[in-house]
Amino acid sequence: MFAEAQSDPALSKEVFEAEETRLRTALLKAQYRQLKREDRGLLIVVAGIDGAGKGATINLLNEWMDPRHIHTLAFGEPTHDEQERPPLWRYWNEMPAKGKTGIVFGSWYLPLLREAARKKPRAQRLTEYVDTINRFEASLTADGIQIIKLWYHLSAKAQAKRTKNLLSNPETAWQVTEADRKVQKKYDRICQAGDTVIRLLNAPHAPWTVIPSADEHMRAVCTAQTVLHALEQRPRAPKSQVFTASSETRRRSPDRFAQLDYSATLDKDDYESELSQLQGRLAHAVRSKAFAERSLVLAFEGQDAAGKGGAIRRVTHALDLRQVDIHPISAPSHHELAHPYLWRFWRRLPRQGRIAIFDRSWYGRVLVERVEGLASSAAWRRAYGEINDFEHQLAGHGAIVLKFWLAVTPAEQLKRFRERERSPFKNFKITPDDWRNREKWNLYTQAANDMLARTDTDDAPWHLIAANDKRHARVQVLRDIVTAMEKTL
């Protein structure tokens, strides 16, 4: 893998200067062309041997390209804030908008590289890391974020020489940190780890390039050429179906709505007593010590006028307002559209000890966006796997994830629509869109059934609730939350 770079090739000053003019001119042109595209961004992952000049190269790219449109995303040890969310949160959170270029330093490869550099790497950990990275990169590239990965390499001899030179001059000695000295001793293991990682994750849609780094001219030219090539090339879609086999998403789903008992009701006295008791248990659960290291993520979906808002208010009544965030989800803004689909949900993940309630959610991709043709067939079919993966990461980090579908019958919906229209202060809730969606009842039902069949997981179960009777539905929602909380905590 490193054979060429190991020989520490160099470029003469003359060759470099000629190349510099050509590359800078071409890079700027390509960068400006990319800026005009709202469907495409570039992430450059920077890794490699310490002392190979990664920092200098990032400075160089900022000098050679227009730095106003480059984001340098350099990550160190996770902050408190970051530790309270799944490991990939920090990268989602800082994801540059499409059109822009992001340079990632301290990337999602760090834990994998550390594991691979152990004396005895643990096979299972390696597999987990590789799997997570594979899905992450496949999801990003499928959604318009091109990824290239650069490994800066030089020989052990060149590394030692560079350190010696810097140390010999008191003016430059400060550039050698304590960490740099340690790394030298581990040179072989780091090379070995790099080799493993590159072999395991060198996908055509997110390729690795080894940059010979002993000579700064060679390093600069190779870096610029690789970036230029990526900007000029049409990005490649992930080949492997990382998320779902297409046969899977074409299978007919059972109709779970037909199996519901819509006649369930609850009388007013029972309702008030049960509701209060359940709210009390929920209040107790979220104040418990065990919950301080977890979080609660609730997603509410359902037909229009199924009573999501009323159910959510019965939940929040039991909660301290300082502990909960309610996120009403509607069509993405221009700003949100310039990012991968799940970005706006990743950014809203609660820290530990907190609750996030989504009034409509990331399931819009496989419901409204599918039915209304707002997402391509490939995009919404892929979304089942992406969503399962998203929720798996949440649950894996200790979040309790529950999803509710409040289900009403067409007749009950019609009754509520009419009531809303008649009320001077509820008619804002009914729009021509609601009537249009109602005409597509069967399409939405099919989409919902497919969703239930493909995303009802142990990590994040669906609760399908008959909601023709509001009292019954509200108590059922509370009961499901309380049961899950008490079981987990």
Burial track 178-200 (b if 16+ CB lie within 10 A, e otherwise) = eebeebeeebeebbebbbbbbeb
Is position 284 an interface residue for its own copies (rule: CB under 8 A)? yes
User: Given the complex with its own copies, which of 39 and 66 has the nearer CB atom?
Assistant: 66
Determine, following the binding rule CB under 8 A, whether residue 396 of this chain makes contact with its own copies.
no
Among positions 38, 81, 270, 421, the unique one binding its own copies when judged by CB under 8 A: 81
Q: Which part of the chain contacts its own copies (CB under 8 A), choosing from 3-11, 153-161, 308-316, 449-457? A: 308-316
CB of 292 to its own copies, least distance (A): 13
Q: Is 347 in the site for its own copies (CB under 8 A)?
A: no
When the beta carbons of 150 and 466 are compared against its own copies, the nearer one is 150
Q: Which stretch binds its own copies (CB under 8 A): 63-71, 150-158, 240-248, 404-412?
A: 63-71
Taking CB under 8 A as the binding criterion, the range among 18-26, 201-209, 248-256, 376-384 that sits at the site for its own copies is: 18-26
The least distance separating its own copies from the CB of residue 61, rounded to whole angstroms, comes to 11
Between 184 and 323, whose beta carbon lies closer to its own copies? 323
Is residue 36 close enough to count as binding its own copies by CB under 8 A?
no
Cβ proximity to its own copies: between 59 and 165 the closer is 59
User: 229: which residues sit within 8 A by CB, 6+ positions away?
Assistant: none
Q: Should residue 410 be labelled a site residue for its own copies when binding is judged by CB under 8 A?
A: no
d(CA 470, CA 371) in angstroms, rounded, equals 27
- From the list 329, 365, 364, the residue with the least C-alpha distance to 347 is 329
Least separation in angstroms between residue 176's CB and its own copies is 11
Contact call for residue 289 and its own copies (CB under 8 A): no
Q: Which stretch binds its own copies (CB under 8 A): 204-212, 236-244, 311-319, 377-385?
A: 311-319
Among 134, 175, 184, 244, binds its own copies (CB under 8 A): 175
Candidates 137-145, 185-193, 262-270, 319-327; binding stretch for its own copies (CB under 8 A): 319-327
Query: Token digits for 460?
Result: 């994040």
Site for its own copies contains 348 (CB under 8 A) = no
Among 76-84, 225-233, 240-248, 440-448, which window interacts with its own copies (CB under 8 A)?
76-84
Site string for its own copies, 187-226 (x = CB under 8 A): ----------------------------------------
> Is the CB of 60 or the CB of 130 nearer to its own copies?
60
124 binds its own copies (CB under 8 A): no
Nearer residue to its own copies within complex by CB, 43 or 383: 43
**Interface with its own copies includes 264 (CB under 8 A)?**
no
How far apart, in Å, are the Cα atoms of 157 and each of 6, 164, 179? 10, 11, 18
Exposure class string for 354-382: b at 16+ Cβ within 10 A, else e: bbbbbbbbbbbbbbbbbbeeebeeebbbb
Q: At what angle do helices 268-286 and 470-488 cross, to 10 degrees?
A: 30
Residue from the set 13, 120, 185, 335 that interacts with its own copies by CB under 8 A: 335
148 touches 207 (CB < 8 A): yes
Site residues (vs its own copies, CB under 8 A) = 21, 24-25, 27-28, 32, 55, 58-59, 62-64, 66-68, 72, 74-76, 79-81, 105-106, 169-175, 273, 276-277, 279-280, 283-284, 309, 313, 316-318, 320-324, 326, 328, 330, 333-335, 351, 359, 424-425, 428
